[in-house]
Chains A and B, each alone.
Chain A
C-alpha cells in the first residue's frame, strides 16, 4: 500500500504521536503501508528551503529500504526558488515536489506558478498540490489559511502542458462535481485523506474514474487509520481496492 500523503518534522501548533520519523514509519508499517511519500512541515513555514529539503532527503535516505520517498518543497515567492528546484532534482534526486500555495501566499493564476510547473516538467518532476492542511474552523488564531482555489488550474495546465499533478486534501473544500470537471482532459489524481461521508470512497468512484484516486493518510497530522478504514467501509471490489491502494499511485509516479 502506497501512502501518498505524509509529512516529516514538526507541526507548529501541537505535538503529534508520530512526529518522529522513526515512529511514523513504524505506525504506517503496522497498518500495512509499504511506501510513504513524505513532504516536510518545515517547508510550510521556513524560508531556508535548501535546509528543509536537505533534512527531508537525509531522513528519507535513513528510512528502511526506501520506505520514505521525499517530495521536496518549492516556494516560488522566494528569491532564487529555481535553484531549490534544481537541487531537488540534481542533488537530492527526489521524484517530485509538494506545493502549498495557500501557505506560501500565491494563487494558481500567478505567473510564478505556471513558471514553476514548466520548470518541473523540464526536469520530469511530479507535482503534488496541497489544498489545505486542516479544517478552517479549527485553525490557530495566528494562522488563518484559506483553502487553495483550484479554479484557475485547468487553464494553467493547458498553457504549460503535460504536468503530472496530484491534488492532496482536496475534499474538504472541493466538491465531487468540481473534481470530476478537473479530471476531464487532464491526468489529475486526488487522494482520499480529507474525503468524508459514509462509505465515501465508494460514492466517489461512482463519479470519478477509480484510476484517478489514490490512497493518502495525511499522517502524522491525522491518525493514519482513518484512510485505511475508509477503504474497508466503502466495500469496494478487490480490483478497485488494488488500484486505490497502490497501482494508481505507482503509475502516476512512473508516468512523470
Chain B
C-alpha cells in the first residue's frame, strides 16, 4: 500500500531523536531509524539530542550527547545532519561545544530545549557565536493549556523576544508552539522566524494557516520521531490543501536553503 503522493516530493526531516529506538549502540539505533525513514522515502534527517531526556542537562551531559550524535551520524554523513545540544545554563561549555561540533566539526545547527526560556540574556553569547558560524538555530516552544509548561520551557513569545534582539539571524520556532493558532501569530511579524510542524497531533488546518499567515517559505517539516511517528507528521503536509510547490518547499527546500547556508553540505 502507498499514499497517493508517495515519492512525489523530496523530504528532509528537521527533527529526530534516537531516544526510544531499539539498539545497543548509536550506530545500531541510527540504522533502525533510517530503515523506517526509508519507508517514506525521507532523504535526509536532522538528529537532535539522543542520549538524555534531562530537562536541565549538565555541561558534561551536553558534551556526552553531542559525542553520541556525532558517533551516530558518522556512518551516514550523506543522510544525517547533526544539531549541537547547547544550554543557556552553561554558556562557556555551550560556546566550546559550538566551536568543537559546528565550527570545527560536522554539525550544522544548534538545538535549544527547555533548560531556560529563550528570552534569557544568557542566550545572547550563544546565539552570537552560532550566528557567526551560520548554524541553523532551533528552539523548542510550546503553549501548554493544561498547566504542564515546565519552568524553563519557552513559548513562541519568548523566542520572538530573542529574535527581535537578533534581527539578522534566522530562528526556527519548534512545534510552532503546539497550539499553532497562537504560535503562528506570536512570530508572524518577525520575518527572521520560521515555524516547524513537528511533534503535535495531525490537526487539520495547521499547515494551511501557517502557509496563509507566514508564506510557505517560513514553514518547515519535521517529525519529532521516535516519540512521534513520521506518519502523523508527514500527514500535515500531504493532507493540507496547499499547492505541490508549497509542499516541496515545506518538505525539503526551505531547510535545505538553511543548511546550504552553513557551508557544511554541497548543493
Tell me the A residues contacting B by CB distance below 8 Å: 14-18, 30-32, 134-141, 144, 194-200, 219-233, 235, 241, 245
Contacts and interface: CB of A to CB of B under 8 A. Distances in A.
Interface stretch (B76-84, B117-125, B132-140, B224-232): B224-232
A219 B232 CA distance: 13
Interface of A is mostly: loop
B22 to A, nearest CB: 10
B3 A232 contact: yes
A225 B239 contact: yes
A226 B202 contact: yes
Nearest to B182: A138
B230 A228 contact: no
Nearest to B181: A14
27 contacts: A15-B205, A17-B204, A17-B205, A134-B203, A136-B146, A137-B144, A137-B145, A137-B148, A140-B145, A144-B146, A195-B229, A196-B228, A197-B226, A198-B21, A199-B229, A220-B204, A223-B238, A223-B240, A224-B235, A224-B239, A225-B202, A229-B40, A232-B1, A232-B231, A233-B39, A233-B40, A233-B230
A228 B239 CA distance: 11
Contacts of A199: 36, 229
Given A17-B241, A223-B204, A229 B232 contact: yes
Which 6 A-B residue pairings sit nearest by Cβ, starting from the closest?
A223-B239, A229-B231, A226-B235, A225-B235, A225-B239, A198-B226
Given A136-B145, A137-B142, A222-B201, A198 B36 contact: yes
B20 interface: yes
B108 interface: no
A222 B145 contact: no
Contact of B4 (A31, A137, A221): A31
Contacts of A30: 4
B84 to A, nearest CB: 23
Contacts of A225: 3, 202, 234-235, 238-239
Contacts of A134: 201, 203
Interface string B1-29: 11110100000000000001100000000
B208 interface: yes
Interface string B178-219: 110100000000000000000011111100100000000000
B178 A233 contact: no
B93 interface: no
A25 B21 CA distance: 37
